[in-house]
Chains A and B, each alone.
Chain A
Amino acid sequence: MLETIARVVNADDKLVRRGRFVDTTFLIAIDDADTMIRIQEGRVTNVTPGPFITPDYAFALRASREVWEKFWQPLPPLGFTDIFALVKQKLMRVEGDIHPFMANLLYFKNVIAAPRQMKQEEAKR
């Protein structure tokens, strides 16, 4: 699922522009499975699946597979539509140096929700 993020984000010129000042690496954890995502000038330049011995990233978003799967549905169920909804219900942890995340929140919300678009495309096929 996460390998699709690069294609979806990089194909979206408006999203790349929104993130043009972003240069960071963050981590998405689905249960215990970690993936590091490298962003440069708003483009996803690397998606590296774990496990890692000494991962180097700015911030991480951690949730169970069940939660991520609901969040990534094209129209998520109530309470699963947004990262902050999950954080409020303690279904997700956002941790680390979250400065790049907060400073580019509209950008990151779209990047992290990008797998929704893949599912939409799959549904159309």
Chain B
Amino acid sequence: MSPRFEPITGRYVNCGLLGEPHRLYVEEAGSGIALLCLHTAGSDGRQFRGLMNDQRITKNFRVIAFDMPWHGKSSPPAGWQDREYQLTSRDYVDLIVGVADALELDRPVAMGCSIGGRIVLHLAYEKPERFRALIGLETAAFTAPYYDLSWLNRPDVHGGMVSAGVVSGLIAPTAPAAGRWETLWHYMQSGPGVFKGDLHFYMVDGDIRDRLDKIDIKRCPLFLLTGEYDYSCTAEGTLEVAKRTGASATIMKDLGHFPMSENPEKFNGYLLPVLEKIRAL
């Protein structure tokens, strides 16, 4: 019997990002239109394995997920031990464009979730010419802090456990246990302070409410998908973005803040029609 390999391949790419050399971990599967996937805060590209293992998606799309610097199997930059990681809008946009360049992707589709769902709004505003289309999962223009973020990185609380504890409620109560706990496992494995550093973008620096009206979806089509149980990026928040930008939005039943990893089968059912629209562009 031959090994039961999945169609996903993982490699490391060396590239310069934000003025420093980086070694990034990148996974991909499929062929066709490049679909660059952006994981949530404090997690990594493994969240997208449900897409990469779905032939209905990979027959027409080259699904690519990279672990952001500091996340997953991508290293933090040299000298990280003396820094506090803090993601800004500027760095996040530059990082995504830099990775697309390093991978020599020509106008990929970018699809991000949570912080990734926020940054696609920044990409739509700043870099529409660089993308064929943008897909925002769990997108809102802003989320104010609703708990004290300092709990996420202090020596007397396990950072992985508290991060998983914080996000656990964002998963739909109807999600299968395996998807729920795999999603949480990724959070438990995050490096110290990384989730908190990402949330600086999500809850402070990444507020794009004042620029929403300037997003031109004719320059780059924008699609929004949000799980009904998400109380962080709420359905109302997504519909407000849709109203002000003209983007199409769908509120997904029985899904929460991590649709692609908490319940991949259900999520792919919502994603496939969007991908068909993108193919027809």
Q: Which A residues contact B (CB, under 8 angstroms)?
A: 75-76, 78-79, 81-85, 87-89, 99, 102-106, 109
> Interface residues of A: mostly helix, strand, loop or mixed?
helix
* Cβ–Cβ contact B169 & A83, under 8 A: yes
**Which residues of the partner chain A approach B165 to less than 8 Å between Cβ atoms?**
102, 104-106, 109
Instruction: Kindly state the separation between the CA atoms of A88 and B234 in the bound complex, as whole angstroms.
Output: 11
* Residues A84 and B231 in contact in the complex (CB < 8 Å), given A99-B157, A102-B157, A106-B161: yes
Indicate whether A105 sits within 8 Å of B166 (C-beta atoms), given known contacts A75-B173, A76-B173, A79-B231. yes
A109 touches B168 (CB 8 A): yes
Chain A neighbourhood of B146, CB < 8 A: 84, 87-88
* In contact, A85 and B147 (Cβ under 8 angstroms): no
Interface of B is mostly: loop
Q: Which residue in B147, B158, B166, B228 is a CB contact (below 8 Å) of A78?
A: B228
Cβ of B162 under 8 Å from chain A: yes
Enumerate chain B residues within 8 angstroms of A99, measured Cβ to Cβ. Answer: 156-157
Q: Is B97 in contact with chain A by the CB < 8 A criterion? A: no
Report the bound CA distance from A87 to B162 in whole Å.
Answer: 16
Beyond A81-B229, A99-B157, is A105–B173 a contact (Cβ under 8 Å)? no
A85-B169, A87-B147 in contact; A103/B162 too (CB < 8 A)? Answer: yes
Given A88-B146, A109-B169, is A103 in contact with B229 using a C-beta cutoff of 8 Å? no
Asked if B169 and A84 make an inter-chain contact with CB atoms under 8 angstroms apart, the answer reads: yes
B216 shortest CB reach to chain A, Å: 32
Q: Is A103 in contact with B169, judged by CB distance below 8 angstroms?
A: no
Interface: B85 (CB within 8 A): no
Whether B151 sits at the interface, judged by CB under 8 Å, is yes
In the complex, what residue of chain B is closest to A79 when comparing beta carbons?
B231
Q: How far is it, in angstroms, between the C-alpha of A87 and the C-alpha of B165 when the chains are bound? A: 14
A109 cross-chain contacts in B, Cβ below 8 A = 165, 168-169
Assembled-state Cα–Cα distance A89/B169 (Å): 14
The smallest C-beta distance from B164 to any residue of chain A, in angstroms, reads 6
A106-B151 in contact given A81-B229, A84-B146, A88-B146 (Cβ < 8 Å):
no
- Select which of B147, B156, B164 is within 8 A of A84 by beta carbon: B147
Distance between A73 CB and nearest chain B CB, rounded to angstroms: 10
For residue A80, which residue of chain B has the nearest CB? B231
Q: Does B208 contact A (CB under 8 A)?
A: no
- B170 near A: Cβ within 8 Å? yes
Contacts of A85 in B (CB 8 A): 169, 231
Closest to B143 in A: A88
Asked if A106 and B168 sit within 8 Å, CB to CB, the answer is yes
Q: Answer whether A84 and B166 are a contact pair too, CB < 8 Å, given A78-B229, A79-B231.
A: yes
